[in-house]
Amino acid sequence: MRFDILTLFPELFPAFLSAGVTRRAFEAPQGGTAQVETRLWPLRDHAEGNYRRVDDRPFGGGPGMVMLAQPLLRALDAVRADQQAAGRPATPVILFSPAGRSLTQERVRSLARSDGAVLICGRYEGIDQRVIDAKVDEEISLGDFVLSGGELPALALLDAVARLQPGVLNDAQSHEQDSFSDGLLDCPHYSRPESLAVHPALPEQPVPPVLLSGHHAEIARWRRQRQLELTARRRPDLLATARARGELTDADERFLAGLKL
């Protein structure tokens, strides 16, 4: 798969793509290609004039600036020409925007199985609406807050997609136990030491005994119940969705019925 990234700040990407465990997805083996290929398209390269201008004042007045349509359209044309020359499919165009749908693990999984996408990293007050109407297939948001641009959401999406690629994580089952992978939040996790003093005025806090028991069925039941409890307390909307999809067992429902929230 390949992600073509249209950005005013291409310098924000290289450090991320070469660091951490997910770098394995972006590194090309000798004589081969990376699992997740990326290509940066600096938008100023597609602007005209001595100043390579990419923004202007909005019609109708108001604060801020709007990204001009022409550099974006030229960059998108260049991406399509490159895809065609390389025999690649024309991948969908995604714009990161507060008006988009929230990015979910389900959408990440579908992207991880796809040919990739063209990612537009907007800036300023946004991009010319005519580009959105004509060229954008999907708008994505990270949540109900505003960032200075689409570069951070693009990095978040790349990270989420990369960690689902085979061989990227040390344990292939690791991402299967993440929050949202089965529709619920993840359970708590513990490591050494078995007993820990987190504050001088408090008694030492032990690891839950069931996790030391070696009884795999009991450990699995404990983890499932902690998932259900945490989701019920903090994200009941996820629980409602799981219930509507028929993803909760009778044992799950009995446990939830006995919770005092």
List the catalytic residues: 98, 125, 163, 178
Report residue 141: phi and psi, to 5°. Answer: -125, 150
DSSP for 10-48, written as a single string: GGGSHHHHTSSTTHHHHPPPTTS--SSEEEEEEGGGG--
Q: Strand 55-56 vs strand 93-102: parallel, antiparallel, or unpaired?
A: unpaired
Q: What is the DSSP letter of 126?
A: -
- Could you count the other beta carbons within 10 Å of the beta carbon of residue 83? 18
- Could you count the other beta carbons within 10 Å of the beta carbon of residue 193? 10
Alpha carbon distance 248, 58 (integer Å): 50
Alpha carbon distance 70, 18 (integer Å): 32
**Which residue, among 110, 118, 112, 130, has the nearest Cα to 92 in the 3D structure?**
118
- Going from the C-alpha of 120 to that of each of 48, 109, 110, the distances in angstroms are 19, 20, 19
Outline where DSSP puts E strands in 178-243: 195-196, 205-206
8: which residues sit within 8 A by CB, 6+ positions away? 42, 43, 44, 54, 121, 123, 149
